[in-house]
């Protein structure tokens, strides 16, 4: 997708720029190149990893309860399902980001170790200082926006991911199933009913907790309130539907949003581009 097309329906100021595209060969890898002077991401999660670097300026983001500041020469990592936000520090920032799937990263770990990966690779540090690898990432990211030279793109990107996994994930596996059982029941219910208008008493009844008790337990376990988690889940569903080419108006209704405006606000706050810019045409 060209930058002009991505900007066509994106609510940005004159000082913000966004280019978004996909690299199908890498498990439909999403790629983002942006300059944000004013845009602030709402708290959100990804089913994928987030791997990228700051090109100019400084971005600040909170993940795992701590505030971080990323500048050029550093690589940024967010693991799947980690709650995070993002906003400009001082005069803003330009960055290049990718969103590799868990399957892609697990496959690389298995190639690196020559044995099955029994968990999810985990990056303990959200930011690491590595100017050389950050420079290689920028070069690989630029190649992804070009046509042809498949071998060069493969070697550049997968080489950077492999180095990052070896140096900074060190094949650390994140434990799963650690949420309290009541929160797990609430999550399972929201997963099954995210298209519906779920009430807090209804959800608390499923979990066997009081309304306020559920909010506290849910936030402690996931980093999000039940409503924020539900909105995030709906955005995830919208991403998949838009990537399949569905129209934003249809996606809004099928994913539990009140209307297209509701979808636009929630989507832009978490993805950085509008549903129209994200959609595969």
pLDDT digits (tens, 9 = 90+) for 193-252: 999 988 888 998 999 987 778 888 888 888 888 899 999 999 999 999 999 999 999 999
Q: What's the average model confidence in pLDDT over 23-51?
A: 93
pLDDT digits (tens, 9 = 90+) for 121-176: 999 999 999 999 999 999 999 988 877 677 888 889 998 998 999 899 977 655 55
CA nearest 105: which of 90, 118, 120? 120
Tell me: the pLDDT tens digits for 45-101?
999 999 999 999 999 999 998 999 999 999 999 999 999 999 999 889 999 999 999
pLDDT bracket for residue 1 (50, 70, 90): very low
Q: Does domain 181-278 have CATH number 1.10.10.60?
A: yes
Assessment of whether the complete model's pTM goes beyond 0.75: yes
Q: What is the pLDDT of residue 173?
A: 59
Who wins on pLDDT, 10 or 64? 64
Which two structure tokens, joined as six digits, stand for 275?
């549903």
| Cα–Cα nearest to 247, from 229, 258, 231, 263 | 263
Contact 34, 94 (CB under 8 A): yes
CA 164 to chain centre: 18
Beta pairing partners, 88? 59
The β-bridge partners of 72 are none
Give the separation between CA 134 and CA 140, rounded to whole angstroms. Answer: 10
Q: Which of 170, 93, 164 is nearest to 133 (CA)?
A: 164
Q: What stretch of H or E contains 93?
A: strand 84-99
Helix (H, G, I), strand (E, B), or coil: what is residue 152? Answer: helix
Cα–Cα distance, 197 to 264 (Å, whole number): 18
CA distance 50 to 11: 23
Predicted confidence at residue 10, as pLDDT, reads: 41
Residue pair 15/38 in contact (Cβ under 8 Å)? The answer is yes
Q: Are 122 and 78 in contact (CB under 8 A)?
A: no
Does this chain's domain 3-174 share its CATH topology with 181-278? Answer: no
Q: CB–CB of 36/93 below 8 Å? A: yes
Element (H, E) at 2: none
What is the Cα–Cα distance from 138 to 134, expressed in whole angstroms?
A: 6
The CATH number assigned to the domain with range 3-174 reads 2.60.120.10
In the chain, where the domains are located: 3-174, 181-278
């Amino acid at each position: 997708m060209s930058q002009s097309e991505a900007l066509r329906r994106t609510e940005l100021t004159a000082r913000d720029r966004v280019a978004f595209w996909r690299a199908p060969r890498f498990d439909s890898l999403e790629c983002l190149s942006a300059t944000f002077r004013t845009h602030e991401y709402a708290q959100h999660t990804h089913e994928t990893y987030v791997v990228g670097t700051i090109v100019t300026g400084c971005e600040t983001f909170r993940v795992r309860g701590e505030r971080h500041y990323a500048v050029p020469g550093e690589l940024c990592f967010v693991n799947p399902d980690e709650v995070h936000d993002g906003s400009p520090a001082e005069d803003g920032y330009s960055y290049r980001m990718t969103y590799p799937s868990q399957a892609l990263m697990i496959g690389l770990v298995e190639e690196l170790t020559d044995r099955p990966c029994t968990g999810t690779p985990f990056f303990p540090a959200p930011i690491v200082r590595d100017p050389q690898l950050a420079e290689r990432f920028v070069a690989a990211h630029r190649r992804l926006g070009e046509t042809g030279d498949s071998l060069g793109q493969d070697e550049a990107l997968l080489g950077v991911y492999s180095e990052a996994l070896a140096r900074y994930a060190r094949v650390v596996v994140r434990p799963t199933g650690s949420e309290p059982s009541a929160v797990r029941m609430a999550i399972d219910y929201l997963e099954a009913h995210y298209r519906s208008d779920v009430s807090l008493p209804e959800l608390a009844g499923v979990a066997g907790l009081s309304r306020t008790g559920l909010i506290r337990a849910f936030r402690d376990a996931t980093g999000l309130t039940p409503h924020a988690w539900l909105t995030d889940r709906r955005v995830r569903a919208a991403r998949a539907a838009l990537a399949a080419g569905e129209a934003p108006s249809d996606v809004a209704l099928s994913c539990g949003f009140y209307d297209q405006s509701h979808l636009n606000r929630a989507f832009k706050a978490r993805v950085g581009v509008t549903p129209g810019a994200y959609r595969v045409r």
